[in-house]
Amino acid sequence: MAPTVVDKALAYYERFDREQRPQLKALIDEQLIAEHRVNPLGPHGDRLRRVLNYFRRAPQPGKYVVVAVDRWRDYRLARLSGVRGEAPKVLDEPVFRTEEEAIHGAFLARVRELLDS
């Protein structure tokens, strides 16, 4: 019988995530959200960069991403499955008119999830 392989990096990743969340929650306020709303593509200040770097990490099953349903007209959010080869689930609402609006919408959805955890 083959020995069970344990990925020790996953345990470290979970610990890192547990320690990061309270620190990142303390960074989020109306000023940070307004900074992202004005310029979702950057450049960003230090606090916003820290939060965005956390949101950009992988893997993240359920992570919100932006999908162009009809380029230049219809952008939506989708949630990643976390399973390689499985398509993301595109959400019907909300619908965004520009890519920048959709990026900010994904940011707000990620912020809500972080604050609720």
pLDDT tens digits, one per residue of 42-67 = 999 999 999 999 998 866 789 999 99
Distance of CA 58 to the CA centre of its chain: 9
Interaxial angle between packed helices 99-116 and 46-56, expressed in degrees from 0 to 180 and rounded to the nearest 10: 80
pTM of the entire predicted model: 0.86
Q: Residue 110: what pLDDT?
A: 95
Tens digit of each residue's pLDDT (9 = 90 or more) over 67-98: 999 888 899 999 999 888 999 999 999 999 99
Please tell me the predicted confidence (pLDDT) of residue 20: 92
Residues 6+ apart with CB under 8 A from 26: none
pLDDT over 80 (residue 103): yes
